[in-house]
Amino acid sequence: MRLLVSVRSAAELGPAIAGGAQIIDAKEPSLGSLGAVSAPALRAIAEALPPAVPLSVALGDPADAVAVEHAIAALDGLAGVPRELYLKVGLGSAANLAMAEALVVAAVGAASRSPACPAVIVVAYADAPAAGARPPDWLVELAAGRGAAGVLVDTRAKDGRDLFHHVDESTLRRWVVGAKRAGLLVALAGSLSAEGVRRVADLPADVVGVRGAVCLGGREGMLMEALVRRLRSVVDARVSRSGAVV
pLDDT digit string (tens) for 168-192?
999 999 999 999 999 999 999 999 9
**Mean pLDDT value across residues 102-117:** 93
Interval 60-90: pLDDT, tens: 999 999 999 999 988 877 766 667 899 999 9
Q: Which residues are catalytic?
A: 27, 88
For residue 169, what is the domain's CATH number? Answer: 3.20.20.380
- For 60, the domain range is 2-242
Alpha-carbon distance values, 65 to 79, 171, 229 (Å): 25, 31, 39
Integer Cα distance of 224 and 167 in angstroms: 29
Q: Is the pTM of this model over 0.85?
A: yes
What's the number of domains the chain is made of? 1
Angle at 86 between CA 65 and CA 94, to 5 degrees: 30
Alpha-carbon distance values, 100 to 68, 69, 145, 227 (Å): 12, 14, 13, 36
Interval 96-106: pLDDT, tens: 899 999 999 99
Looking only at the bridges linking them, the beta strands covering 215-216 and 222-223 are antiparallel
Residue type at 135 in one-letter notation: P
Interval 118-127: pLDDT, tens: 999 999 999 9
Q: Is 60 exceeded by the pLDDT of residue 245?
A: no
